[in-house]
Amino acid sequence: MLVSLIIFASSALLGCYVGLAYPGLTENFVEKLRESFAPLSDQDPLQLALIILLNNAVKCLGAVLLGPLFGLAPIALGTINGFVLGLVSIAVSEARGSFYIVVAIAPHGVLEVPAMLLSIAIGLREGWLLVRKLNGEKVELKREVKAGLSLYVKLVLPLLIAAAFTESFITPLLMEIIF
């Protein structure tokens, strides 16, 4: 879990650095992101929650299922999500302030980020076990993948469900009340 946190946090810091060092690039990226998510603003909260859940559940499941491929999918998940979070956080905090970012992200982030980190950790473990197996060690990779899927269903998925509903029902209310 520590390695997944390091991947995510270092990528977020890199995103923050890029956001500060290249403001023009950051503005363009955030604008493209805003345009790509614009259709979601018309969704009712339940539909939005289901869309968010499906997106996050598929990505986290991909990290678990594709982890045995040397851990590349989990590394990509942590790197991309961390970088984008850092980049967008800088852009939005410069426009609206740091407190705005905290209110917009923290309610669902306290659920979503641990779920994602756990998925990354599961996938990285599977990738490491494949390397060990290729080096001739006796490793029960199939059993580990099944255990990872079980953990995904029992812990990751419930956290993602709670995060999606928090993001689409609670966060908008908080944003409306506070801002």
Which residues constitute the domain of residue 107? 2-172
Burial degree of 89 (CB within 10 A; 0-12, 13-18, 19+): buried
In a domain? residue 8: yes
CA atoms within 13 A on the CB side of 78: 29
pLDDT band at 31 (very low <50, low <70, confident <90, very high): very high
What b/e string do you get for 12-28 counting C-beta neighbours within 10 Å, with b at 16 or more? beebbebbeeeeeebee
In a domain? residue 72: yes
Predicted pLDDT at 176: 96
Q: Specify the DSSP class assigned to residue 67.
A: T
CB 87 within 8 A of CB 30: yes
Closest-CA residue to 157 (of 118, 131, 123): 118
In a domain? residue 179: no
In 21-151, beta strands by DSSP E: none
Rounded to whole angstroms, how far apart are CA atoms 115 and 159? 6
In a domain? residue 177: no
In a domain? residue 159: yes
Rounded to whole angstroms, how far apart are CA atoms 56 and 62? 10
In a domain? residue 178: no
For the stretch 92-141, pLDDT in tens is 999 999 999 999 999 999 999 999 999 999 999 999 999 999 999 999 99
Task: Say how many domains are in the chain.
Answer: 1
CB 77 within 8 A of CB 120: yes
Predicted pLDDT at 36: 95
Rounded to whole angstroms, how far apart are CA atoms 109 and 164? 10
